[in-house]
Amino acid sequence: MPSAMAQGPATEGLASSYVEAQEFGRRDESAEATRDYHRAVLLPEFSQRYRVHYKDCTASVPQPEATPFSFVAAIGPDGRVLRLWSDRSTNVYQCVRGKLLFDRFAPPPRAPFYLYIHMRFVN
């Protein structure tokens, strides 16, 4: 399976592949210790920022691809994005990835926290 990775600061000890990161993301979104953070804190914060990133990227990328893609962000103890993995690398994802690597979110209750996102586009 293709795997595109982007790295932020310290990345030792993180998932070794997109598939492993995706498994960790599914775990973190449902685990009792992290469920509330995922639903009530991170998703609203991420959604607000991602809308802006997505809008900027689709406006600036020539012929934005509408191919669905998934990605996982490992978030460190201070809320920084440590690494990103994706299942495919569309031009929209490339643009968004560059922006996400500089984002800082609310610190998670357990780090790294893996945020799994699947994107589909509706016309």
Digit-coded pLDDT (tens) for 2-45: 444 444 444 568 999 999 999 999 999 999 999 999 999 999 99
The pLDDT value given to residue 51: 87
Reference 98, options 54, 47, 32; nearest CA is 54
**What angle (nearest 5°) sits at the alpha carbon of residue 119, between those of residues 107 and 12?**
40
Per-residue confidence band for 80, with pLDDT thresholds at 50, 70 and 90: very high
Whether 62 shows a pLDDT value over 80: the answer reads yes
Whether 74 shows a pLDDT value over 70: the answer reads yes
The pLDDT value given to residue 120: 77
The pLDDT value given to residue 115: 96
Sign, CA torsion 82/113/39/109: negative
The pLDDT value given to residue 9: 44
Whether 1 shows a pLDDT value over 80: the answer reads no
- Tell me what the pLDDT averaged over the chain comes to: 87
As given in the structure block, the two tokens for residue 16 are 């070794």
- The domains of the chain are located at 4-8+16-119
Q: What's the predicted TM-score (pTM) here?
A: 0.84
Mean pLDDT value of segment 52-80: 91
Q: Please list the residues that pair with 33 across neighbouring strands.
A: none
Mean pLDDT value of segment 103-114: 96
